[in-house]
Amino acid sequence: MRESYGRIFWGIIFILAAVGLVASQFGVFPDVNLFGIMLTIFFGWMVFEGIRKLNFWGIFMPLACLYMIYHDEIGIFEISPWTMFGVAVLCSIGFSMIFQNAHRRRIYGEIGETTYAFSGNGSEQCHGEQIRCENTFGSAIRYINSDNFKNAQLENTFGALSVYFDNAIVQGGSAFVNVENHFGTTSLYVPKEWQVQNNLDRAFGSVSEKGRYEGSSNTLLYINGSTNFGTIVIVYV
């Protein structure tokens, strides 16, 4: 329901922007920068969503973009826009590391904490019901080999992370995967027979799907999370 409200909100915003563009051709609102207003609303919405979801990338990066837009008008700080952009990146990484446990509790409050954690480069076999995989500044491959897979927390920052779920068995009918991807690429290899509920958010990033999707089994996989300045790819195998 919340997702449909979001689509309606942005649909109205774009329609109003179209009306404003037409009106500007007839001398109405001659001094109004409609493009700047649209960007302000967009980045403001991203900050609100970042606070709501405790996503610090979704808080600091939009604020840096707003600073870049209104740098000349503000005229308070003698800080270049690109320096502020670097500050936003460092603050996003730092706050995400400090409040990492709080972020996980928000996600897994009703599911439980992960019981198996894997980090570092290279490839590893992951067993267990609840798994956490972390990758930073490198390339990692994880194979989920579980007889009763329930959930996974995947975190990738400035790297490439590939996770294979084709050997995972979901006995409870549904499983959850949360992905936090920042300045990198996370690839999820999912059985094409599974039903997939894609709830991924993107901020200056992309989410794509590849392969032939069937969705013929009763297994339902919820994929939640977000990508910031990066890419998440769902590959059906």
Region of poorest pLDDT, from 55-64, 105-114, 131-140, 153-162? 105-114
Percent of the chain, pLDDT > 70? 80
Bridge partners of 130, per DSSP, are 151
Q: Determine the pLDDT at residue 16.
A: 75
Q: Is the pLDDT of residue 61 over 60?
A: yes
The full set of domain ranges for the chain reads 2-100, 113-236
pTM score, whole prediction: 0.68
Residue position matching structure tokens 């409040």: 99
Q: Is the pLDDT of residue 232 over 90?
A: yes
Query: What confidence tens digit (pLDDT) does each residue in 117-176 have?
Result: 555 567 788 888 888 888 888 889 999 998 999 999 998 888 999 999 999 999 888 999
Q: Is the pLDDT of residue 111 over 70?
A: no
Query: What confidence tens digit (pLDDT) does each residue in 171-216 have?
Result: 888 999 999 898 899 999 999 999 999 988 877 788 999 988 888 8
Q: Determine the pLDDT at residue 29.
A: 57
Q: Determine the pLDDT at residue 51.
A: 84
